[in-house]
Amino acid sequence: MKVLKFGGTSVGSSNSIKNVKSIIQSIDGQKIIVLSAMSGVTNLLVEISDNIHLGNQTDLIRLEESLKNKHLELVETLIPQSEIRSVVLQGLEKLFAEFHLLIHGEFSENSANQILIFGETLSTYIFNEYLRSCNIASILLNAKKFMFVGNLENPDTAKINQHLQPFLKNISEDAIYITQGFVRIDKFNRISTLKRGGSDYTATIIGAAIDAEEVQIWTDIDGFHNNDPRYVANTHPLSNLSFEEAAELAYFGAKILHPQTISPVIEKHIPIYLKNTFTPELHGTKISSEIHSKGLKAISAKDGITAIKIKSNRMLMAHGFLKKIFEIFDFHETAIDMITTSEIAISLTIDDTKNLDLILNDLEEFGEITVEMEHSIICIVGEGLIEDANTYKLFEILNEIPVRMISYGGSLNNVSILVASENKVFALKALHQKLFSSKPVAIGLKF
Ligand code: ADP
Ligand code: ASP
Ligand code: MG
């Protein structure tokens, strides 16, 4: 069994959905297809939620209309046979009637999550009906019946397998199952999400749960690039990445993969292929336990980082000081990404500021606290990077941009630097130029 995930742009128009159909048909064997919502739809649903919260009826009606039209128009262009189309449109009307009740009913965290996942309900319904209209037998699976992810960081894939297996009854060699990405049932059995971009994670969780042969992630770019193509010119796709390299890059902001995508498949050595729905003939990127080459490979950046400095004379010679500091973060369930220390101070970074006030309150007794928001961690990755003869060039950047923290030597595969977010793009370009290209590129620093 293979797991194939198609992202928002891949299901974003009737033409791209036709591409998805051809890709699926060209791949042998049984497969589970995980779909995202059409591109832009989850953002629209977030807006709908915000407007319910604000009690803004006029905007709510407008947004509901626009969501509906987008999907009605898709069905109109995708399914030419008028009889089949009218049945599919009736089904769609039914889904929208339920959605109408949901958004005009009582608003709670629970209903907000149900609203958020509606895009995936729509895309999978339409895609399944489209395949059937082309005489391709497919089976729609309801992710709410098996995606039991109580612990977001460490899903119990055996439990998911146990709930999923009863639905995988079609023994045909080419069985096609379709299911919703992004959806999860939390530890209180409530509908929730795997966080934004979470359909990638759905695919690898399912892959690990069913011991899939491979996971394919189909998107709108030809694989994992060596830098963020949204900010840097002349990036190129990497044909191979190790699990560790890809995990670091995804965790530290490479938007092509949800931060947790890699972890479920590492232990089972299930390879992930990143492919472009619009140019399926290209190789893309294979992520696996194989190490194809050593040295500098890629750069990514994670925004929304807060740096906290604790300055204390009591740290001098005091064993147990760091333990007490870490216990505070642990107590407030806040993960630390980077740490640097000096004799009298420790600086660390977090990305989740939900409990920041409580953390600061508890830290106060340990010394003078400084907080700096709006920073970005830039992560430079490659197996054995630290031993690469070119790595020294990295430090030349310290002359050019104000680096707030640097983490070197934590592993052989990674160097992280913390910069103010307003300098992120400059830093990405400067590093790209120094590390990957011989030609100078136009860069501009904002202070
Ligand atoms: P999908 O909707 O298919 O999940 P995403 O928009 O989430 O697609 O991810 C693909 C996008 O990620 C690309 O279009 C690209 O702009 C962006 N991206 C950021 N960093 C990278 C990278 N290192 N390699 C490739 N794409 C990247
Ligand atoms: N639709 C969800 C989002 O936009 C999940 C995904 O596309 O991966 O975040
Ligand atoms: Mg994505």
Confidence band for 393, pLDDT divided at 50, 70 and 90: confident
Alpha carbon 417 to its chain centroid, in Å, reads 21
- Return d(Cα 178, Cα 200) in angstroms, integer: 14
pLDDT tens-digit series, residues 189-199: 999 999 999 99
Q: What are the structural domains, with CATH classification, of the chain? A: 2-220 (3.40.1160.10)
CA distance 181 to 239: 26
- Name the percent of the chain lying above pLDDT 70: 97
Which atom of ligand 2 lies nearest, measured to the CA of 197?
A: 8
Mean pLDDT estimate for the chain: 93
Mean pLDDT calculated for residue range 193-218: 98
Mutate to test the pocket of ligand 2, among 33, 38, 42, 147 (most ligand atoms within 8 A of CB): 42
Report DSSP letters for 287-319, one per residue: EES-----S--EEEEEEEEEEEEEE-GGGTT-T
How many Cα atoms are found within 13 Å in the side-chain-facing hemisphere of 27?
Answer: 23
Report the predicted TM-score, pTM, of the whole model to 2 decimal places: 0.94
Q: Ligand 1 centroid to 255 CA: how many Å?
A: 5
Helices (H), 240-386: 243-251, 263-266, 321-331, 356-363
Indicate if the pLDDT at residue 386 is higher than 80: yes
Q: Which atom of ligand 1 is nearest to the CA of 223?
A: 25
| DSSP annotation of 227 | S
CA of 42 to the centre of ligand 3 (A): 11
Per-residue pLDDT averaged across 306-325, rounded? 83
Q: Report, as an integer, the average pLDDT of 170-192.
A: 94
Tokens of 22: 């051809």
Q: Contact, 190 vs 149, CB < 8 A?
A: no
Which pLDDT value is given to residue 317? 59
* Tokens coding 93: 């009307």
Is 259 touching ligand 2 by the criterion CB < 6 Å? Answer: no
pLDDT at residue 313, as a whole number: 75
pLDDT tens digit sequence for 252-284: 999 999 999 999 999 999 999 999 999 999 999
What local confidence, expressed as pLDDT, does residue 438 receive? Answer: 61
Q: Does the beta carbon of 8 lie inside 6 Å of ligand 1? A: yes
Nearest CA to ligand 2 atom 8: 197
Q: Whose CA is nearest to atom 22 of ligand 1?
A: 225
Element (H, E) at 373: strand 368-381
The Cα 148–Cα 111 span in angstroms is: 18
CA distances from 337 to 144, 167, 203, 217, 248 (A): 32, 39, 25, 27, 11
Residues pairing with 307 in the sheet: 349, 372
Task: Give the pLDDT mean for 290-312.
Answer: 93
Q: What is the pLDDT of residue 171?
A: 75
Nearest-5° Cα angle at 255, 251 to 259: 25
The answer, yes or no, to whether residue 442 has pLDDT greater than 60, is no
Atom of ligand 1 nearest to the CA of 274: 25
Nearest Cα residue to atom 21 of ligand 1: 228
Range 272-289 burial, b when 16+ CB lie within 10 A, else e? bbbbbbbebeeebbbbbe
Q: Is 42 in the pocket of ligand 2 (CB under 6 A)?
A: yes
Q: How far apart are CA 227 and CA 435, in angstroms?
A: 11
The two most distant CA atoms of the chain are separated, in Å, by: 80
Residue 316, pLDDT score = 57
Whether residue 195 has its Cβ less than 6 Å from ligand 2: no
Question: Which residues make Cβ contacts (< 8 Å) with residue 45, sequence separation at least 6?
Answer: 37, 67, 115, 116, 118, 119
Tell me how crowded residue 297 is: count the other CB atoms within 10 A of its CB: 27
What tens digit of pLDDT does each residue of 124-133 get?
Answer: 999 999 999 9
Main-chain dihedrals φ then ψ at residue 241, nearest 5 degrees = -135, 145
Cα–Cα distance, 182 to 13 (Å, whole number): 20
pLDDT-based confidence at residue 342 (cuts at 50, 70, 90): confident
Taking only the tens place, the pLDDT of each residue in 41-67 is 999 999 999 999 999 999 999 999 999
Amino acid code (one letter) for 273: Y
pLDDT at res. 444:
39
Average pLDDT, integer, range 396-413? 87
Average pLDDT over residues 319-341: 92
pLDDT at 315: 65
Residue 400 pLDDT = 86
Say yes or no: CB of residue 413 within 6 Å of ligand 1. no
Is there a contact between 338 and 306 (Cβ–Cβ < 8 Å)? no
